[in-house]
């Protein structure tokens, strides 16, 4: 197959462009979007590439329709993605919940900018962490990934598709304006180098009749794609294993929702990813995610030069969050600092994880600029 | 042929037995329109496995759950946006969107006009009962002035949408409106709509005696049907009437029948153009 960009070699590109190329290589063949800063370049790249690889790129009337279209595409058998920023992400909350409830594999990219509301369209922020996890109503579970470099934006996009397909769930790639618009060297692998996961399809007539059951015991039902003779009914109402609405049966509701939680939480060891840096002998830890991790790594190096035994953890999977790991970390270190580009969101997850075993301090910064390493250093040395 | 088949035969062939009975109230018109649609499918000999039903929220949106086809029961007003993804991913599938007036013209109004503008290949069967039946009889954007609902208990004071007129203006390939009283015209229109490329719409005035009729001194379906006979005017006749005489009336008939290329065909041509412009193809 021919690709509209060089593969098997490095390139110097923006985060948005890296996300688009990764999606194409992950097998994404349906993109629907609505223009928004700072995510528009993802759409523009998809618009350029999709017709060439026999995929679809379409500009919808709003972000509600964009996510709706990719859910429809997914049920028709395509790997599908949309990308947006805060204001559009807010509009997507309705159908993000629909995708969770109907167990539809999709990838939603949120390129964070300053909010609330229209806020700071061109500047980076990390203010959507809680929204990505909890933005849609009702009890729900999904996966949220957070890259810190352009290379990671590429790699995590491929991982987002694999996780979405494997667990039949929406996956949010939560990035920010800084990574989206920054140019870095990125290795674009050739297709043979990329491991792809495809959704489970019904292996028998019996399995096809249980599109919301658990025939394999892993919580993930095979997905009967439309048009293949299965006559599947899909609804956002509480439904039984066959997909039939059962809206007043407490047992059916509990069984469905707990399975949607279980299919992800039972596999959290595989889904959760973080990277430690100089943490072995540390008595001060920095926990960060996304672009801020770049400053945090530098801050750790400076702190070490100054004789402070500092280390850090870069959180790659924001949700499900590894509370147990943070508790173990809290037992090892005296203090945890959480620098983030908001007024305290990751901080609350870390604090809950630390469970009182270590003091947790927030280093908040808003307004659109990433923390400088010295801003972190100065807070740690006091 | 279709007029000879019993309703039972149609029911047994196309409905999911384990989903019956339906949620519809006595006197509701949705079952009639569903029957028209199934008879049209049957008469055209369409393949049941190549049709996907999509819907939003409301009484009429529950229809995809009762028919034995692939079906996507989505969020309120969004059915046509979901349909866009299904159709462009697998153009071999025929899409039927079963919608209500509130679903299509209020919360889904923007998706509705944009799906028509794109000429998305879909057949919309629209139940217009002037009310939000499922939530208990609030006024819909189609409610004629003076009609009562729980959210306009003293009579609707806003102007109504003419959905068929909106669809014609936005560029639909086929648009017709009937009341459920117009049985044969209705089936024939659905057959035509299902046979055409692009966006096709058949709107039905459909009785909701429980949520709508009771509040408007028409407690039974027959009373509502008689009222439809009074307020509907065939298109040919309407053309000869002065505008003031058409005040408070609803015109029925075929409003558009044209053959603009549908979205699928347009996108296929676009892909070819892209490959040519990039030098990938001659």
DSSP conformation letters of A255-317: HHHHHHHHHHHTTHHHH--EEEES-TT-SEEEEEETTHHHHHHHHHHHHHHTT--EEEEEESE
Specify whether A180 is located in the same domain as A301.
no
Average pLDDT of the residues of chain B: 97
C-alpha dihedral (B144, B147, B150, B154), degrees to nearest 10:
120
Q: How far apart are CA A74 and CA A126, in angstroms?
A: 29
**Is B282 within the bounds of a domain?**
no
Count H helices, E strands: chain B?
Answer: 11, 10
Straight-line distance from the first to the last Cα atom of chain A, in angstroms, rounded to the nearest whole number: 57
**Is B120 within the bounds of a domain?**
yes
**Is A307 within the bounds of a domain?**
yes
Count of the separate structural domains present in chain B: 1
Which of A56, A61, A227 is opposite residue B50, by nearest beta carbon?
A227
Last residue of a domain, one of A193, A228, A249: A193
**Is B2 within the bounds of a domain?**
no
Tokens linked to B127: 């139940």
**Is A346 within the bounds of a domain?**
yes
User: Residue ranges of chain A with pLDDT lower than 70?
Assistant: none
- Selected for mutation to probe chain B from A31, A51, A62 (highest B CB count within 10 Å) is A51
Specify whether A25 is located in the same domain as A169.
yes
ipTM score of complex: 0.97
Specify whether A41 is located in the same domain as A182.
yes
Q: How far apart are CA A139 and CA A255, in angstroms?
A: 13
Are the C-beta atoms of residues B108 and A61 closer than 8 Å to each other?
A: no
Q: Is any Cβ of chain A less than 8 angstroms from the Cβ of B196?
A: no
- Put simply, the answer to whether B81 touches A69 (Cβ < 8 Å) is yes
Residue B4: the pLDDT is 80
Tell me if residue B230 falls in helix, strand or coil.
helix
**Is A213 within the bounds of a domain?**
no
The number of C-beta contacts closer than 8 angstroms across A and B is: 143
- Put simply, the answer to whether B90 touches A77 (Cβ < 8 Å) is yes
pLDDT at residue B9 greater than cutoff 60 = yes
Which of A65, A66, A244 is opposite residue B18, by nearest beta carbon?
A244
Are the C-beta atoms of residues B120 and B262 closer than 8 Å to each other?
A: yes
- Respond yes or no on whether the N-terminal peptide bond of residue A161 is cis (omega within 30° of 0): no
Q: Which domain holds residue B270?
A: 7-277
**Does the predicted model carry a pTM greater than 0.95?**
yes
- Put simply, the answer to whether A78 touches B89 (Cβ < 8 Å) is yes
Q: Is any Cβ of chain A less than 8 angstroms from the Cβ of B278?
A: yes
Specify whether A38 is located in the same domain as A178.
yes
List A residues 4-23 in contact with B (Cβ-Cβ < 8 A): 4
Specify whether A189 is located in the same domain as A277.
no
Specify whether A177 is located in the same domain as A309.
no
pLDDT in tens, B77-88: 999 999 999 999
- Put simply, the answer to whether A69 touches B84 (Cβ < 8 Å) is yes
Specify whether A180 is located in the same domain as A277.
no
Tokens linked to A34: 């609505």
**Is A315 within the bounds of a domain?**
yes
Are the C-beta atoms of residues A113 and A120 closer than 8 Å to each other?
A: yes
- Put simply, the answer to whether A230 touches B70 (Cβ < 8 Å) is yes
pLDDT at residue B2 greater than cutoff 70 = no
**Is B126 within the bounds of a domain?**
yes
CATH number where A89 lies: 3.40.50.970
SS3 for B48-78 is: HHHEEEEECCCCHHHHHHHECCEEEECCCCC
Q: How far apart are CA B38 and CA A231, in angstroms?
A: 16
**Is A122 within the bounds of a domain?**
yes
Count of the separate structural domains present in chain A: 2
CATH number where A321 lies: 3.40.50.920
Nearest to A291 by CA among A184, A172, A373, A178: A178
pLDDT in tens, B170-220: 999 999 999 999 999 999 999 999 999 999 999 999 999 999 999 999 999
Last residue of a domain, one of A140, A174, A193: A193
H or E stretch covering B167:
helix B163-170
**Is A206 within the bounds of a domain?**
no
Q: Which domain holds residue A99?
A: 9-193
Environment class of residue A21 by beta-carbon count within 10 Å: exposed (0-12), middle (13-18) or buried (19+)? buried
pLDDT in tens, B10-56: 999 999 999 999 999 999 999 999 999 999 999 999 999 999 999 99
Q: How far apart are CA A40 and CA A53, in angstroms?
A: 20
**Is B39 within the bounds of a domain?**
yes
Distances (CA, A) of A289 to A275, A337, B179: 10, 12, 59
Q: Chain A residues with CB inside 8 Å of B66's CB?
A: none
Last residue of a domain, one of A193, A218, A240: A193
pLDDT in tens, A261-294: 999 999 999 999 999 999 999 999 999 999 999 9
Q: Where are the alpha helices (DSSP H) in A144-200?
A: 150-167, 177-181
CATH number where B271 lies: 3.40.50.970
pLDDT in tens, A3-61: 999 999 999 999 999 999 999 999 999 999 999 999 999 999 999 999 999 999 999 99
- Put simply, the answer to whether B18 touches A227 (Cβ < 8 Å) is no
* A32-63: b (≥16 Cβ within 10 Å) or e: bbbebbbbbbbbbbbbebbbbbebbbbebbbb
- Selected for mutation to probe chain A from B59, B88, B93, B103 (highest A CB count within 10 Å) is B88
């Amino acid at each position: 197959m021919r690709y509209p960009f060089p593969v098997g070699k490095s390139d110097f590109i923006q985060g948005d462009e890296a996300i688009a190329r990764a999606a194409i290589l992950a097998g994404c063949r349906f993109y629907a979007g609505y223009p928004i800063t700072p995510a528009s370049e993802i759409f523009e790249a998809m618009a350029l590439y999709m017709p060439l690889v026999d995929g679809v790129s379409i500009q919808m009337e709003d972000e509600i329709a964009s996510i709706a279209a990719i859910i429809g595409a997914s049920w028709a058998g395509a790997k599908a993605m949309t990308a947006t920023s805060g204001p559009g992400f807010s509009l997507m909350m309705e159908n993000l919940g629909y995708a969770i409830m109907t167990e539809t594999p999709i990838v939603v990219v949120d390129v964070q900018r300053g909010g609330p509301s229209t806020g700071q369209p061109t500047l980076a922020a990390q203010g959507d962490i809680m929204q990505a996890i909890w933005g849609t109503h009702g009890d729900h579970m999904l996966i949220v990934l957070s890259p810190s470099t352009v290379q990671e934006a590429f790699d995590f996009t491929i991982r987002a598709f694999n996780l979405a397909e494997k667990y039949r769930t929406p996956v949010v790639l939560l990035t920010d304006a800084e990574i989206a618009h920054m140019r870095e060297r990125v290795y674009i692998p050739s297709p043979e180098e990329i491991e792809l996961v495809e959704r489970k399809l019904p292996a028998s007539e019996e399995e096809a009749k249980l599109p919301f059951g658990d025939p394999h015991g892993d919580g993930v039902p095979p997905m009967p794609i439309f048009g293949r003779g299965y006559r599947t009914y899909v609804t956002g109402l509480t439904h039984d294993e066959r997909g039939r609405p059962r809206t007043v049966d407490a047992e059916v509701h509990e069984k469905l929702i707990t399975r949607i939680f279980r299919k992800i939480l039972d596999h959290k060891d595989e889904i959760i990813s973080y990277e430690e840096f100089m943490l072995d002998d540390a008595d001060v830890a920095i926990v960060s995610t996304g672009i801020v991790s770049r400053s945090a790594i530098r801050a750790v190096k400076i702190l070490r030069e100054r004789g402070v035994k500092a280390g850090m953890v870069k959180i790659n999977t924001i949700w499900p969050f590894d509370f147990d790991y943070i508790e173990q970390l809290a037992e090892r270190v005296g203090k945890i600092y959480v620098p983030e580009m908001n007024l305290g969101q990751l901080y609350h997850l870390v604090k809950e994880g630390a469970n009182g075993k270590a003091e947790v301090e927030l280093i908040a910064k808003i307004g659109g600029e990433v923390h400088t390493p010295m801003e972190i250093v100065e807070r740690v040395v006091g | 042929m279709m007029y000879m088949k019993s309703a039972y035969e149609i029911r047994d062939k196309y409905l999911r037995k384990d989903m019956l009975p339906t949620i519809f109230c006595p006197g509701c018109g949705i079952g009639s329109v569903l029957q028209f649609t199934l008879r049209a499918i049957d008469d055209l000999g369409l393949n049941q496995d190549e049709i996907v039903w999509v819907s939003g929220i409301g009484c009429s949106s529950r229809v995809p759950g009762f028919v034995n086809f692939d079906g996507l029961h989505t969020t309120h007003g969004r059915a046509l946006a979901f349909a866009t993804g299904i159709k462009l991913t697998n153009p071999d599938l025929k899409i039927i969107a079963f919608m209500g007036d509130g679903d299509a013209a209020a919360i889904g109004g923007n998706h509705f006009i944009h799906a028509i503008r794109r000429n998305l290949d879909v057949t919309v069967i629209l139940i217009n009962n002037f009310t939000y039946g499922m939530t208990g009889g609030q006024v819909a954007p189609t409610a004629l002035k003076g009609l009562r609902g729980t959210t306009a208990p003293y009579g609707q004071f806003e102007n109504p949408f003419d959905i068929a007129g909106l669809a014609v203006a936005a560029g639909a390939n086929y648009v017709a409106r009937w009341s459920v009283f117009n049985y044969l015209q209705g089936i024939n229109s659905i057959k035509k709509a299902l046979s055409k490329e692009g966006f096709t719409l058949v709107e039905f005035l459909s009785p909701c005696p429980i949520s709508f009729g009771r509040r408007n001194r028409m407690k039974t379906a027959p009373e509502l049907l008689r009222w439809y006979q009074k307020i509907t005017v065939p298109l040919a006749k309407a053309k000869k009437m002065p505008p003031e005489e058409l005040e408070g009336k609803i015109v029925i008939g075929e409003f558009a029948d044209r053959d603009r290329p549908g979205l699928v065909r347009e996108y296929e041509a676009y892909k070819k153009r892209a490959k040519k412009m990039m030098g990938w193809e001659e």
